Chains A and B, each alone.
Chain A
C-alpha cells in the first residue's frame, strides 16, 4: 500500500514506435517481464502508443481492469508526457498517476546491441513500476496571464510579431537597441524572388508600429533584467539617452544642417561606413521613430563640453535637444515574451584569403545591398571606389559558411540573395557577373524559377569554392584586376577569373551577445549559439521557458518569408496563452510534513524564490505554492525528511533508482 493508500493496480504500455524502438528493443520480452512485476495487472505492446488507438488502450484498461497507476515506456517524456497524462485523465484517473519513461532517445536510438538495449529497457520499466506506485493524485495550480507582451528586436520578425499581437488587442512593448526599427531588411533594396522593393513593403509596417495605440515603441533601448515567470514577467528596460526628446522632435532635420561639422565625416553605421554622417543624425530618411539621435562619441559638446550648439539654436522653441538627458530605466510587467533579436553577418576578416580589408574592391554582400539601394550612398549606382562602373563582378558564395574552420552550417539565404545581387548588379552597371557557388540551394516557392531566370539572363554560374582572391597577375589581361582562383568543378579545370569587384556572400551568425540574452531570458542556445527551440519540429517557436518564444533568425538562418511566418507563429502562441487568461502550473511543488519538521530553517535560505517561510506559531516551515517553482532543492536538503517535492518525493526517486539497477 503506497501513495494514497490504495493497493496499486498498474498498467504498463510499451511502445514500438514503429521500428524506432522495436528495431532495437525486443518489446514483447519487455512486456512479458513487466507482467510479472509487483502490482502490474496488465502490460501491453502497441505500435504507436501516442496515436488515438494507443491512448484508447489506456483509457479502456483503466475502466476494464480498474487500473490506478499507469506506466508508459516510449519516447522522451519531454515530447509526450502531456499526451499520456491527458489520456489517463480521460480514462477517469488523476493525470499525475501516470509515469512516462524513455526507451527511445535513451535506449533504442543510442545503443546498437539488441541484448543490451532490451536489458536497459527492462530496467527502466522496472524503475517506473516501482516509482509509480508511490505517485499521488495532484491538482495543478492555475495562475493568471497578463494581457501584455514584450517583443525584443525591431527587425521584420519583431515588427510582425508586435503588429499581430497589437491587432489582437494585446499591449506590446517593442524594444530595439538601435535608434530605428527596421533591422537588416531596412538596408535591402529588393527582396528575392519577386524583386519587390523592400522599403515599399517594410516602411508601412514600421509606421504602423509607431502609430499603433497598442504598441509602446522603445528604441535605443535594451532589456536589462527579467524576473518572474509565465504570465507574470517583470522586465527592466534601459533607455539610452539619444539627447533628443522623441515627443518634441518633428524630424525636420534642421539641426543636422546646422551642426558645426559642415560636412558629414563619421562613418554611417546604417550604410556600413560607405557613407558619412554627422554627430547628430538620422540613420536613414524613413527611420522610425523619425527623430534624430546625437552620438555622444562624436558630438563635440558631449565629448568636450565645448561647442557653439548650433543644433540647439536651429531647433529653436521646439526644444527637442537636451544634452542633459540621462539613461532611464523602465519597469514593465508582461505576460509573454517574444525574442526576435536577429543575426549578425559573418566578418570576412576571418577569411583573409578573400582579401577583405586588403583590397578596396572586395565588398560584403551587405555593403553591396547598400550600393544597389536607391536610397543608399551612391543612389543605387553600382560603382567602384574610383567612381567607375565595374566591367566584371565576382560573387563568392558561402563565405564563412559550410566550413569547419569558420561556421559549419549553411546560412540558407546566401544562394538566393547572391542571385538577387547578380541580377541587380548587372541591371545597374551592365557588368558581367560570375557567381561561384558550392551547391546552389534554392528550395522555396518561386525560388528555383528565379534561379532559372538568372541563368537565362546569362550570369556565369561556376560551381566551386574559391581558394583565393589575389592582385598578382600571371597574364596581361589580369593586370590591375582582382583575380579569383577556383576549380570549375563541373568541368574539372582550375580557372583564374579577373574581375573589377568582388562580393563576398557572407553567412549568418548568432548575434555576438546572444549568450548574454539567452541567460537574461533563461533559455538555451544550440552549440552554434542560435536560440534553442523547445522541439525542432513540433515546438519551433517555444523555448524551454514557458511564456518565452523565439521568432526569426535568432533561432537560425531564415529568409524574410520564413521569418514573418515564424513571427506570426510566435505571436499566435503568445496569444493563445494570453487569451486563455490563465496557465496551469506543473504541481511539482514542495510540501512540508509538519509532524516531521524540526524547524531548523535550512530550507528557507536555500529557496531561490523565497517560497518557504517560517510559521512562528507552529514553529515549522511553510511553502507558498504560488511561489514554489518545483526544483526540489529543499527536499534534497531537509535533514528530517519533512519536505517532499510532488512527483519527485524521496519515495518516488529512490524507488526509481532501485528499480533501474536491475
Chain B
C-alpha cells in the first residue's frame, strides 16, 4: 500500500456498540476498514492501559464505544469508562499525543449509521494526523548529557 493508512483498535461493548456494528453489517453500510473491533461486555471494562498497549503494538488510534448515558446494561459502567477516559486525555496531553487519537462514543444498538459515521470520521482524522509519534523530549544540544531529560510540557 502506498498511502498511509491508520490502524485503529475498537473496544466495543457487547450490548450497544457491538450490536450496532452488527446492524451496520446487516444493513450493508460501507465504512473504512481501518478499525478492528475487540468485543468486551461493557465499556466499564475499558482500561487506559489498553490504549498504551495498543499504541505500543502499532495502533494509531483507539475507539471506545459503549451505551448512551443512562442506558448501560450494567447500570453505570459507561460512566466509569467516561471518568477513565477523561483521565486518559490528560495523560495523553502530557505525553504529547493528540487527543483525537482516542475517542469515546456512545452508540446505541440501533445506531448502525453512527458506527459508520464515527469510524469514517476517525479514520479521516487519523489520516490527517499521520502515524503516531511519541514526541521526542525536546533537547537542546547543550542539554545532552544531562541525565534523564524529562518532560517539558
The reply, when asked whether chain A contacts chain B directly with Cβ atoms under 8 A, is: yes
The closest CB in chain A to the CB of B29 belongs to A110
Q: Which A-B residue pairs are the 8 nearest by beta carbons? A: A105-B25, A632-B45, A633-B44, A660-B36, A631-B74, A631-B42, A636-B47, A116-B33
Is B82's beta carbon under 8 Å from chain A?
no
Whether the pair B22, A630 counts as a contact (CB closer than 8 A) is no
A527 within 8 A of B: yes
Contacting A at CB under 8 A, from B25-71, are 25-26, 28-31, 33, 36-42, 44-47, 49-50, 53-54, 57-59, 70-71
Of A127, A525, A645, A657, which contacts B53 at CB under 8 A? A657
Cβ of B109 under 8 Å from chain A: yes
* Contact present for A632 and B41 (CB under 8 Å): yes
Q: Which one of B12-20, B89-97, B136-144 is at the interface? A: B12-20
Beta-carbon contact of A78 and B19 below 8 Å: yes
Distance in angstroms from A446 CB to nearest chain B CB is: 32
Known contacts A631-B42, A648-B40: does B80 contact A110 (CB below 8 Å)? no
Known A78-B18, A630-B41, A632-B40; 17 more pairs at CB < 8 Å: A104-B25, A107-B33, A109-B25, A113-B33, A524-B19, A525-B110, A536-B26, A544-B15, A608-B76, A631-B44, A631-B73, A633-B42, A633-B77, A633-B80, A645-B41, A648-B45, A660-B9
A657, B48: Cα distance in complex, Å: 13
CA distance A629 to B113 in the complex (A): 29
Complexed CA–CA distance, A168 and B15 (Å)? 32
* Beta-carbon contacts under 8 Å, A583-598 to B: 588
Does the CB pair A105–B22 fall under 8 Å? Answer: yes
Cβ of A606 under 8 Å from chain B: yes
Q: Which residues of A contact B22 (CB under 8 A)?
A: 76, 78-79, 102, 105
Chain B residues, Cβ within 8 Å of A656: 38
B1 CB, nearest partner CB in chain A, Å: 8
Q: Which residues of A, 70-115, contact B by the 8 Å Cβ criterion?
A: 76-79, 102, 104-107, 109-113
| Inter-chain contact A637/B80, CB cutoff 8 Å | yes
Chain B residue at smallest Cβ distance from A518 = B71
The CA of A570 and the CA of B15, in the complex, are separated in Å by 21
Q: How far is the CA of A127 from the CA of B57 in the complex (A)?
A: 12
| Inter-chain contacts of B111 with A (CB < 8 A) | 527
With a cutoff of 8 Å between Cβ atoms, the chain B residues found around residue A637 in the complex are 47, 80
Among A54-62, A117-125, A450-458, which stretch is in contact with chain B?
A117-125
10 contacts between A and B (CB under 8 A): A78-B22, A110-B29, A113-B33, A631-B77, A633-B77, A636-B84, A653-B40, A656-B38, A661-B36, A661-B58
Q: Which residues of A contact B58 (CB under 8 A)?
A: 661
Which of B31, B38, B110 meets A657, CB within 8 Å?
B38
Out of B26, B76, B80, which one reaches A105, CB within 8 Å?
Answer: B26
Quote the shortest CB–CB distance from A15 to chain B (angstroms).
14
Q: Which residues of A contact B74 (CB under 8 A)?
A: 608, 629, 631, 633
Provide the bound-state CA to CA distance between A633 and B73, in Å: 12
A637–B45 Cα distance when bound, in Å, is 8
Q: Which of B19, B33, B116 has most chain A Cβ within 10 Å?
A: B33
B120 to chain A, nearest CB (A): 11
Counting chain B CB atoms within 10 Å of each CB, the highest count among A77, A111, A117, A632 belongs to: A632
A632 in contact with B36 (CB, 8 Å): no
A33 on the interface (CB 8 Å rule)?
Answer: no
Q: Chain B's nearest CB lies how many Å from the CB of A50?
A: 16
- Distance A654 CA – B9 CA, assembled complex (angstroms): 11
In the bound complex, how far is the Cα of B10 from the Cα of A6, in angstroms?
A: 30
- Residues of chain A within 8 A (CB-CB) of B31 are 110-111
Chain A-chain B contacts (Cβ-Cβ < 8 Å), number: 139
- Nearest chain B residue, comparing its CB with the CB of A124: B36
Report the nearest A residue to B48, measured CB to CB: A636
Contact of B57 among A76, A105, A658 (CB under 8 A): A658
Which chain B residue shows the least CB distance to A526? B110
The answer to whether A645 touches B19 (Cβ under 8 A) is no
Give the chain B neighbours of A76 by CB distance below 8 A.
22, 25
Query: Does A522 reach chain B (CB closer than 8 Å)?
Result: yes
* Residue B21, interface by CB 8 Å: yes
Nearest CB on B from A183, distance (A):
25
The answer on a CB contact under 8 Å between A636 and B45 is yes
The one of B15, B21, B40, B110 in contact with A106, judged by C-beta atoms closer than 8 angstroms, is B21
What total of chain B residues lie within 8 Å of the partner, measured CB to CB? 50
Out of A79, A106, A632, name the residue touching B42 (CB < 8 Å).
Answer: A632
- Is the CB of B101 closer than 8 A to any CB of chain A? no
Shortest beta-carbon distance from B78 to chain A in Å = 10
* A338 on interface, CB distance cutoff 8 Å: no
Interface residue? A499 (CB, 8 A): no
- A120 in contact with B33 (CB, 8 Å): yes
Query: Are B36 and A123 closer than 8 Å at their CB atoms?
Result: yes
B73 touches A522 (CB 8 A): yes
Q: Given A524-B109, A660-B36 in contact, is the A110-B45 Cβ separation under 8 Å?
A: no
B19: chain A residues within 8 A (beta carbon): 78, 524, 544
Complex: A208 Cα to B24 Cα, angstroms: 44
Q: Are A106 and B25 in contact (CB under 8 A)?
A: yes
Q: How far is the CA of A217 from the CA of B58 in the complex (A)?
A: 61
In angstroms, how far is the closest chain A Cβ from the Cβ of B127? 14
Q: Known interface pairs A76-B25, A111-B30. Does A632 touch B44 (Cβ–Cβ under 8 Å)?
A: yes
Of A77, A106, A654, A661, the contact of B7 (CB 8 Å cutoff): A661
Could you tell me the distance in whole angstroms from the C-beta of A155 to the nearest C-beta in chain B? Answer: 24
B75 within 8 A of A: yes
Q: Considering the complex, give the chain A residue whose CB is closest to the CB of B113.
A: A527
Check if A519 sits within 8 Å of B39, measured CB to CB. Answer: no
CB-CB < 8 A to A630: which residues of B?
Answer: 41
Residue from A77, A630, A661 with most neighbouring chain B CB atoms (10 Å): A661
Q: If A113-B33, A526-B110, A636-B84 touch, does A660 touch B38 (CB 8 Å cutoff)? A: yes
A635 is an interface residue with CB less than 8 A from chain B: yes
Query: Which of B21, B41, B71, B80 gathers the greatest number of chain A CB atoms within 10 Å?
Result: B41
Interface string of A156-200 (1 = CB under 8 A from B): 000000000000000000000000000000000000000000000
**A569 to nearest B CB, angstroms?**
21
Residues of A within 8 A of B73 (CB): 522, 544-545, 631
| Nearest CB of chain B from residue A622's CB, rounded to whole Å | 19
For the complex formed, measure the closest distance between the CB of A112 and the CB atoms of chain B, giving whole angstroms. 6
Inter-chain contacts of B18 with A (CB < 8 A): 78
Check if B24 sits within 8 Å of A110, measured CB to CB: yes
Q: Which residues of A contact B38 (CB under 8 A)?
A: 127, 653, 656-657, 660
Judge if A532 is at the interface, Cβ distance under 8 Å: yes
Interchain CB contact under 8 A, A606 and B80 = yes
**How many Å lie between the Cα of A106 and that of B24 in the bound state?**
8
The answer to whether B57 and A532 touch across the interface, beta carbons within 8 angstroms, is no
Q: What residues of B have a CB within 8 angstroms of the CB of A650 in the complex?
A: 47
Q: Among residues 234 to 250 in chain A, which have CB atoms less than 8 Å away from a CB atom of chain B?
A: none
Question: Which B residue sits closest to A656, measured CB to CB?
Answer: B38
CA distance A109 to B21 in the complex (A): 11
Judge whether B33 and A631 touch: CB under 8 Å: no
Q: In the complex, A114→B36 CA distance in Å?
A: 16
A109 contacts across to B, CB distance below 8 A: 25-26, 28
Other-chain contact of A645, B24, B39, B45 (Cβ < 8 Å): B45
Tell me the chain A residues, 389-432 only, with Cβ under 8 Å from chain B: none
Asked, given contacts A110-B24, A524-B109, A661-B57, whether A648 binds B84 with beta carbons under 8 Å apart, the answer is no
